[in-house]
Amino acid sequence: MTTPLRSRSTTRAPVKVQAPGKINIHLGVGGATAEGYHELATVFQALNLGETLTLIPGGTGSIIVQGRYAGSAVPADETNLARRAIDLLIAALEDERDVDVLRGIDIVIDKQVPVAGGMGGGSADAAAALVGAAHLVGGVAEDVLHDCGVAVGADVAFLLRGGTAVGHGRGERLSPVLTRGTFHWVMATSARQLPTPDVYARFDELNPDPAPAEIPAGVLTALAAGDPDALAASAANDLTEAAVSFMPEIAEVMEAGRAAGALLPLLSGSGPTIGFLARDARHALDLAVLLQATRGVNEALRATGPAPGAQVVDIVG
């Protein structure tokens, strides 16, 4: 359903936006399509470990990366996903709207989601940029934001919405999922990175004739009940074997997490970050302490879900 444009007036006050990271609670992977994408059946959950962007109109088009992962290889040119998202929104609106306020906009990214770890940090940047840009031009229809998000990457569409959702196709066809309570995760990051295309290519090698992607009924039942033990018995990630073939230490860290009491070790997206499901906040704290001392773990970060999607949190000035 299309949401009407709220207003056509623009503003030049800087705007601050937050967007969540994510974990794929379940990731079923089918065969590749003619376009080269894989048919997915996934359950996304947005996490409170997220990104904050400040969009500053009237600038020079600069991108400044700060925060926990400021030293990571985040591009500061037109290939940055936040910049691409704004450029796509300009193209989508310029025939009918005054979008001059979006040209030359400066972007300050407070980077709190691990880079290239399967948690959707770059996609969160794009989602935040779209929501902030929409605010600056006085409001944009939800379907326009969705389409621009999908053009950047399939995860962006979910991070615009947040919560918990089923995704089909590339993950862009979304349906909300009933979820009770709060799920507690410890995200164990790696000092190494795993390129997503390489993991999918290895999946194809290992699964020349994959079954259609599907979501076990037990996953949705566990989410509706708010039952982490039941979720641990049902959720899985079909990319795990492919990721482990590149990085055997992923399997070692998963086993260490199980030994430390995690209900479930779950590869996050295409990895190499691993999400460990905990029973509650105290259990998550204990897990984080043990995992932080585990060989192969760079950081053990606590997170909870579901979290809201991208949203404006402050108008600066």
Cα–Cα nearest to 275, from 265, 290, 263: 265
Among candidate residues 110, 125, 155, 238, the one labeled active-site is 155
111 is catalytic: no
Say whether 155 is catalytic.
Answer: yes
Question: Which is catalytic among the residues 22, 110, 125, 238?
Answer: 22
Residue 164: how many CA atoms within 13 Å on its side-chain side?
19
Residues with catalytic annotation? 22, 155
